[in-house]
Amino acid sequence: MPLITYREAIRHALAEELTRDPNVVVMGEEVAQFNGAYKVTEGLLEKFGPKRIVDTPISEAGFIGLGLGASMLGIRPVMELMFWSFYSVAFDQVLNNAANVRYMSGGQINCPIVIRGPANGGTNVGATHSHTPENVLASHPGVKVVVPSTAYDAKGLLKSAIRDNDPVMFLENTILYGDKGEVPAEEYLIPLGLADVKRAGTDLTIVTYGRPVILSLAAAEVLQKEHNLSVEIVDLRSIRPLDIDTVLASVRKTHRVLVVEEQKPFCGVGAQLTYMIQHEAFDDLDGPIARLCTIDAPAIYSPPVEAEQLPNARRIIEAALATVAGSQ
């Protein structure tokens, strides 16, 4: 299979869907003439023209509202946010309108809009550009929330998101854009709401998503080699809908759980996961469920300090060893 970057995988998904469906359009700041702030949309303007690849003013409230209205009229807009941190400017459009329109219209009006862009820390751009709002988004019925960790997943999930009739919030990671992975040349789709076991194991389940999947895989190799600890990695891929069945199957296999997320701990995705696991599989647990999150403070600008604020392989190794020790 071809080896391409996470960035290229997203671009290929966009190009394939733009070719397949004339109602698909891409809109956002600098997506056309500048080829995208992160070069994800490079070359699309030349191929599809200015009516399909549209530069917008620097007004998230304005262009997300434009996309929302277009989606209710049969267009399938893919809206790029330069940072997901800026979604709060369009909070009403995203979560008060897009999330509710199908329900409030009795199913008569669909809202097939995708809003995509980076949502992560670790790039030392400060607290106002480093939010991970998947927990806020997922708390609103009516939206779907996707967080891919690999190039393969990014392409397959984005194609499914574009074809979905509900609003899909697609959260990427700038640190992953250059990561390479095997991606089939032939077309494929990954259903939304289907988790993936990225690594099989028997002693501990790590449930995670996004970039922490990559960090957890690195930590798992060290844990196997240096501590003879077999770790299973479950990549949620989709926060809502959530594939709890795959998570529970892993828990019932390993009997120990560590949830790793690039989220602040209070009211995070991990809190919901922890409740669901203990509610459904309490008797299968040999010890308390553990969580490893971003340290609970606004994103720190200092590179060495932010690196410690976020989950990293060392912190995951320490948390994994503590989780197993606490269950013995």
CB of 327 closer than 8 Å to CB of 256: yes
Q: Compute the distance between CA of residue 328 and CA of residue 286 in angstroms, rounded to an integer.
A: 8
Which of 8, 12, 29, 129 does the annotation list as catalytic? 129
Q: Compute the distance between CA of residue 62 and CA of residue 137 in angstroms, rounded to an integer.
A: 19
The yes-or-no answer on residue 129 being catalytic is: yes
Q: Compute the distance between CA of residue 201 and CA of residue 81 in angstroms, rounded to an integer.
A: 37
The yes-or-no answer on residue 60 being catalytic is: yes
CA-based nearest residue to 247, from 287, 172, 195, 184: 195
Q: Compute the distance between CA of residue 295 and CA of residue 286 in angstroms, rounded to an integer.
A: 26
Which of 8, 60, 232, 306 does the annotation list as catalytic? 60
Sheet of 196-199: strands edge to edge? 196-199, 231-235, 204-208, 257-260, 290-292
User: Which residues belong to the active site?
Assistant: 60, 129
